[in-house]
Structures are given as C-alpha cells and as structure tokens.
Amino acid sequence: MKKILGTTLAASLAMFGGNVAAEGELFLYNWTDYTSDELIAKFEAETGIKVTLDTYDSNETLLAKLKSGATGYDLAVPSQNFVSIMIEEGLLETVDVAAMENFSNVAEAFQNPSWDPEQQYSSPYQMGTTSYAVNTEAGVGSCASLAEFFEPNDAASGNLGVFKTPEEVVNLAHIYLGQEFCTEDTDDLRAVQALLMGQKEHVKIFSSEGTMDRMGSGDTTISNAWNGDAMRQRLEGASIEYCFPQEGVVGWYDSLVIPKGAKNIENAKTFMNWLMVPENMAIQSDFARYANPIKGTEEFASEEMATSPEVAVPSVPVKFGQSCGPKYVKAVDRIWTKLLQ
C-alpha cells in the first residue's frame, strides 16, 4: 500500500451505464468535513435518492453508535481496522461488493483487503495518513521528528492541538517510541502513558474537529492533522506544512459499510457501486483532498491533487492501524481516560 498511496494509479475507465432508476432515502453517517456536497447533489440527481448526512469525529464514536443498535444509518465510513472489528461483532450487513458492476475499477492492490478478504462487507472510500502539521512562521518545528509534536518546544507550548481519538494519537506515540502497534507489554504502555501525560501540559485543545481551521486562524500553531485536511487549509492561504517525520506516519484506508439493520440497503448498495465510477470518486477526492484506489480518477482530478506534497508520501515509514486484542484496548482506554481527566 505504501508504494501506491498518493501516487497516480494506472488509467482504466469503466463506463457507468446511465442513470439509476431508484427513489427513496439514504442516511449517511460520515466523518466531519468528509463528504462533498457536489458529490451528493450529483448522486441525488442521477438516482432520485435523497441523501441525509450526519457526522462523527472518530472511529470510536462510530463503533459505539453501531454497538448501541439504534443507528438509523444506511452507510458509514470506518477505517480499515474498525471494519474488521465490526465484521467480527456482527455489526454489518453482507453486501458482496466484489459482485458489483463497478468493482473492476478498484486497483488490484486494494481488492479483497486483509480486513475484508472476500469483499463481502466494504467498498472503498478514501485513503490517507495521520501525522501533525506546523505553522511554518511560528518556530514550532520543521517536520523533522515526532519529537516536535510529543515534546514541543517553548514556542509550541500552549499552542498545541491534539486529536481526541485515542487510536490515532496512541499509534503515533508507538511509532515515536519505536514500539509495535497493539503491544500489550506493560513497559511499552507505561512509556506511552508517560509520553502523553508529559505532552498534556503543552496542549491547548483535545479535539478532532476543526483542527486545521484553528491553525488557519492562528489559534494553534502545531496540531495533529490528516493530510487532506492540511492540504485544504494550505490551499486557502494558511502557512501550514503537513509533516512526514523521519519516524513515520499512520496510514489509513476508509471504506463504506452498511450497518446491521439498515432500512435502505438497496439504496446503500447503489451508492457504493456509483462511487466506484472514476468520475464520481474524483469529485470526492478533489473535495476532501485524499487519495483513492479507483483506477482512472486521475483523468478527472485537479492539478492541485496531481502535485500535492501532502498526498505524495516521501521515503518515510507508513504504518497502517490494526485491530488489537481486548487487553490492549482496555489498557489504551485507561490511558486515555486518565489523560483527559
């Protein structure tokens, strides 16, 4: 995945067979600022299906909602390690994405992924990385090392934004400390806790929403960031650099899934299949500024996407999040609860 993430995929355009005869509703549950209005308008016009959008700020929030059994949603967008959790816990409808008309548009390297090996539950959405970003004029760092984020200098102290998503923050800590993801080693977990508690005194806000808006306004000068979010703020004129530190970054791959008990399953399947058309996925990527695994989207992509320093990953490690065991999950829950007290 590292070699393909953020690079131009081989051109191969599969034609979408006209407008879909459909009607009714579709309730989409997605990350904040992660759904293109243009995309939804195009889907509604071509299918007659009205889309209602609700948002969340973390995989953990999504998982808790689905486990509650009262979601009311037809589609959701978890990251790869949470797809496997949801499959194991029986939270998803079986879809058979591999049998869909437009599945052939998915690059072979991303077909039948390890978290959904028969492609029975999930279709591709977007993919990217998690790291941190700096205000290039604030003297808070040069993107050289994760030390700039976890052990900030005097200029950064009190101006630091940290995601309120334990999985992503803790995985970055594992990378910085040279640890394996999902480690259950007591000394490793104590080191993570000590690192995060030491960082806390420099933190201005724990939040996964509006992170780059705060940097753009100067409210923070260094912050956790997703690459596409940082790109969008840079293109709006902010002095922001998305960091690829020497230790590496966290990789993620988001997918569309249908929660168990969804009321509009056929409409959800229609959206899954429709989004695997290159022209449609290109609209989403141009909005959110993330890469995608659909062949042929480069024909429709903007120049900004083709030349983006945030999308093209340099020669640093990219480590994808994993589904971890219950002992590890409980330990991270304890660390995070204590951190936010």
**Residues 57/205, Cβ–Cβ less than 8 Å:** no
Cβ of 339: how many Cβ atoms within 10 Å?
18
In a domain, residue 167? The reply is: yes
Among 6-15, 56-65, 90-99, 103-112, name the one with the lowest average pLDDT. Answer: 6-15
Q: Which helix (H) or strand (E) holds 176?
A: helix 166-177
171 and 271 part of one domain: no
DSSP string, 1-53: -TTTTTSPPPP-PPPP-S-----EEEEEEEETT-S-HHHHHHHHHHH-EEEEE
Task: Tell me how many domains the chain contains.
Answer: 2
Phi, psi angles (nearest 5°) of residue 182:
65, 15
Residue 201 CA: distances (Å) to CA of 153, 219, 243: 12, 17, 22
Phi, psi angles (nearest 5°) of residue 325:
-75, 165
The tens digit of pLDDT for each residue in 150-187 reads 999 999 999 999 999 999 999 999 999 999 999 999 99
Cβ of 278: how many Cβ atoms within 10 Å?
24
DSSP β-ladder status, 203-206 and 160-162? parallel
193 and 322 part of one domain: yes
In a domain, residue 2? The reply is: no
In a domain, residue 326? The reply is: yes
284 and 302 part of one domain: yes
Torsion of CA 112, 113, 116, 120, to 10 degrees: -20
45 and 98 part of one domain: yes
Tell me the C-alpha distance between 259 and 62, whole Å. 10
In a domain, residue 3? The reply is: no
In a domain, residue 18? The reply is: no
**CATH code for the domain of 257:** 3.40.190.10
- The residue written with tokens 């609860």 in the block is 337
The tens digit of pLDDT for each residue in 216-259 reads 999 999 999 999 999 999 999 999 999 999 999 999 999 999 99
Average pLDDT over residues 2-23: 35
